[in-house]
């Protein structure tokens, strides 16, 4: 229906959009005016946002999009469906399912080593820009993982070890420090996608999909170039006339630009006076 309606809207700025069900993210629910379930929806959206933040960290930690989608399907969709069939729709239970799925994904992140930083060895401006963006995002992701996996557990352990009636002030100070650290983690997670949005990508998933495709294009070019250089060094007669020529760098640049444009247009939110979105992240 959305596509049909958009066919009759000449202004692309006014086109309707629906949430991509194949996304690694969970959509947030909208809250209308004077909604009696406002508090319930806010709590539901908070749980969904926590999942979305964790999905961003998983992508930047090198976990494949397919694996995240698998966790989303098995740990959220399937379990929520089973819960609804047996107990009916219980918002609190759904939030519990989402939180457990988030914890499951966080464990996968802890078990998965961060991928190595890209090495800036390629003299292609488009891909070098993407690599620099990847390094910037990964640095921020490592800061978050350090807080999540090292700083916060250490503080919680210190609090657990601080016992006795004379340790009240120390416990209070540690509790406040834990709360500040948790707030810092949440703020850094919220700002993580902004690094990529500044360059035009709508979210981490769109950027990572584009980067992987671009990486494959550049790797293939490097393999073709190495094969051609070896042919030249060994002075072997090529089987075909075309093989005597080096691979064309311009065609690779054209493909990289095309991939970047597609990635930046993917579910790209537009600025307008009135929102026509039916769903939002």
pLDDT in tens, 129-155: 888 888 899 999 999 999 999 999 999
* DSSP secondary structure letter of residue 280: B
Report, as an integer, the average pLDDT of 262-270.
65
Report, as an integer, the average pLDDT of 147-169.
91
What pLDDT is stored for residue 172 in this prediction? Answer: 92
Report, as an integer, the average pLDDT of 38-61.
92
Kindly report the backbone phi and psi dihedral angles of residue 61, in degrees, each rounded to the nearest multiple of 5, phi listed first.
Answer: -85, 0
22, 25, 56, 208 from 65: Cα distances, Å: 10, 11, 10, 9
What pLDDT is stored for residue 230 in this prediction? Answer: 77
What pLDDT is stored for residue 277 in this prediction? Answer: 43
Task: Write the CB contacts of 27 (distance below 8 Å, at least 6 apart in sequence).
Answer: 19, 48, 279, 280, 281
CA–CA dist 147, 25 (Å, integer): 23
Which residue has 């709360």 as its token pair? Answer: 179
Which of 46, 61, 206, 50 is closest to 143 using CA atoms? Answer: 61
What pLDDT is stored for residue 266 in this prediction? Answer: 63
Kindly report the backbone phi and psi dihedral angles of residue 28, in degrees, each rounded to the nearest multiple of 5, phi listed first.
Answer: -90, 150
What pLDDT is stored for residue 12 in this prediction? Answer: 67
Spacing of C-alpha 157 from chain mean position: 30
Report, as an integer, the average pLDDT of 29-56.
89
What pLDDT is stored for residue 241 in this prediction? Answer: 47
Which of 184, 112, 182 is closest to 153 using CA atoms? Answer: 182
pLDDT at 165 over 60: yes
98 near 43, Cβ under 8 Å?
no
CA–CA dist 40, 56 (Å, integer): 25
Rg (CA), the chain: 24
Report, as an integer, the average pLDDT of 202-212.
89
**Dihedral angle, C-alpha 145, 151, 153, 157, nearest 10 °:** 170
Quickly state the pLDDT bin for 275 (edges 50, 70, 90). very low
Average pLDDT, the chain: 82
Could you tell me which residue, 216 or 10, shows the higher pLDDT? 216
Quickly state the pLDDT bin for 176 (edges 50, 70, 90). very high
- What ranges in 17-119 are assigned the alpha helix state H? 38-60, 65-71, 78-87, 91-111
The mean-pLDDT minimum among 170-179, 180-189, 231-240 falls in 231-240
Question: pTM here?
Answer: 0.69
What pLDDT is stored for residue 63 in this prediction? Answer: 92
Interaxial angle between packed helices 249-265 and 204-234, expressed in degrees from 0 to 180 and rounded to the nearest 10: 170
* DSSP secondary structure letter of residue 237: P
């Amino acid at each position: 229906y959305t596509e049909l309606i958009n066919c009759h809207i000449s202004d692309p700025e006014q086109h309707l959009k629906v949430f991509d069900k194949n996304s690694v993210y969970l959509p947030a629910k909208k809250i209308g005016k004077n909604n009696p379930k406002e508090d319930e929806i806010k709590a539901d959206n908070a749980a969904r946002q926590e999942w979305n933040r964790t999905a961003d960290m998983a992508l930047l930690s090198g976990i494949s999009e397919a694996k995240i989608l698998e966790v989303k399907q098995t740990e959220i969709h399937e379990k929520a469906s089973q819960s609804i069939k047996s107990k009916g729709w219980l918002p609190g239970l759904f939030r519990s399912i989402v939180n457990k799925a988030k914890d499951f994904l966080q464990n996968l992140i802890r078990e998965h080593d961060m991928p190595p930083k890209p090495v800036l060895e390629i003299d292609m401006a488009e891909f070098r820009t993407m690599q620099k963006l990847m390094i910037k995002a990964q640095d921020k992701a490592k800061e978050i993982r350090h807080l999540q996996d090292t700083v916060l557990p250490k503080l919680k352990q210190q609090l657990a070890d601080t016992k006795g009636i004379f340790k009240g002030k120390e416990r209070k100070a540690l509790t406040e420090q834990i709360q500040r650290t948790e707030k810092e983690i949440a703020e850094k997670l919220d700002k993580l996608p902004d690094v990529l949005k500044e360059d035009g990508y709508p979210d981490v998933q769109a950027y990572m999909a584009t980067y992987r495709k671009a990486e494959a294009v550049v790797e293939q070019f490097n393999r073709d170039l190495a094969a051609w250089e070896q042919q030249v060094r060994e002075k072997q007669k090529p089987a075909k006339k075309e093989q005597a020529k080096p691979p064309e760098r311009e065609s690779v640049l054209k493909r990289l630009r095309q991939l970047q444009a597609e990635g930046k247009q993917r579910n790209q939110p537009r600025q307008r006076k009135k929102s026509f979105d039916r769903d939002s992240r």
